[in-house]
A and B are shown apart, each in its own frame.
Chain A
């Protein structure tokens, strides 16, 4: 198409100056944006109030769509259940028979566990659950894996609280707003979770890869001890995530660790439970010394 004739606005001084001014404003604006960016890189939580405001504005619409989505999924599940009723019934009966035996064993173990805890004088920490919400959106166009939760400070959600779903660990809270909170998912490259292998407690770390999988790295150097199909659970180290939350299943062995697929799929999680940090007091003392996001040089 023909180019617009705005580069030479004619002999009008006013037009010439205003054209020049738009370029000055554009370049000044770019510099301001770069400065804002430098501030937010230096202090990632700096503009959280603005982001929380954005999330609050869009939350009502997101809640409605989330409800619609939930009921559509329920409807699918209900219809599918009718279609597969017979075969499912047979499979479930077989499974119930197998579970009955395990249940009795578990009962015995629970009694024994309680007795041993009594001997050790271990006390359970208080109620571990803060509140239950739903994931209503995620940053699906950015490389960061952050989801928005439908509850915020109004339900007592605070920063650095772990979040889990019915099938496994989802992530932790990084920003809170009045009625929404932002959750850093375990698949984000920044999220490091202390984990262990469920069968033998082999300690490891999990780091997100940003593509829906996590990299499990054992603490010990050497050849990877993992096998495909290994179950990974949280270990409770560090005092943030409670232990024994189902975390991921190993899908591929690498030279020094393993690739694993998290159990909790944010797109398919009916609800998300916000929990208190495991060993909150110890963690609070540690946070007072070195807050999250701040590193300190250790004087030699």
Chain B
């Protein structure tokens, strides 16, 4: 028997053994809350006691956001870059509004790419994510430089490389969360 990917993978609780297995509904709350929470929590990771000399911690919120967008194209609405970005700004230390603007621009550029490059595989998505990550990080440095004195752009290179290499992991995490999200 072929098992549908979206229907399995969560251990059934004992009580559910006696419920009907037909025509189960997915939980609407779970379907909405999981992507939103995962992006916001990833943005908050920077509040943990991690101290680095150079900006080295990848922008995990951005990675999750791009993964959800590229993996499930219709899930996040086009305007969602603004609220997610503003939430990220609260924790990142950048001037308020910087990620709000940059994430939204990233979202709009993916929309434009979607209209041009229609059939894509994972590698092409990775390339798109890599370009956007580099763009958002350097844009963030440029914006920080408008508000305050900013360091040389070269300090960003390790962070950009690390973030690009972490993108497949973020997609894996999103895929796991997605199967949990859609499980009945």
Contacts and interface: CB of A to CB of B under 8 A. Distances in A.
B150 A137 contact: no
B79 A22 contact: yes
B35 interface: no
Contacts of B144: 142-144
A289 B118 CA distance: 61
A190 B149 contact: yes
Contacts of B152: 209-211
A144 B94 contact: yes
Interface in B149-166: 149-152, 155-156, 159
Contact of A3 (B95, B119, B148, B156): B119
B79 A53 contact: no
Contacts of A141: 46, 55-60, 92, 159
B82 A33 contact: yes
Interface in B59-92: 59-60, 73-74, 77-79, 81-83, 85-86, 90-92
Interface residues of B, number: 61
A141 B166 CA distance: 14
B96 A143 contact: no
Nearest to A261: B53
A65 interface: yes
Given A33-B82, A137-B50, A143-B155, A26 B74 contact: no
Nearest to B146: A41
Nearest to B107: A26
A23 B101 CA distance: 15
Given A34-B101, A40-B147, A58 B79 contact: no
A217 to B, nearest CB: 14
B97 A135 contact: no
A32 B120 CA distance: 32
Contacts of B77: 22, 25-26
A212 interface: yes
Most B-side CB within 10 Å, residue of A25, A39, A40, A47: A40
A143 B77 CA distance: 29
Interface in B36-59: 44, 46-59
A166 interface: no
Contacts of B49: 62, 65-66, 69, 135-138
A26 B83 CA distance: 10
B44 A58 contact: yes
Nearest to B92: A142
Interface of B: 44, 46-60, 73-74, 77-79, 81-83, 85-86, 90-98, 100-101, 104-105, 107-108, 114-115, 118-121, 140-141, 143-144, 146-152, 155-156, 159
Interface of A: 1-4, 6-7, 22-23, 25-30, 32-41, 44, 46-47, 50-51, 53-55, 58-59, 61-62, 65-66, 69, 135-144, 146-148, 187-190, 207-212, 265-268
12 contacts: A22-B79, A26-B82, A33-B82, A40-B96, A44-B147, A55-B91, A139-B46, A189-B149, A208-B151, A209-B151, A210-B54, A211-B151
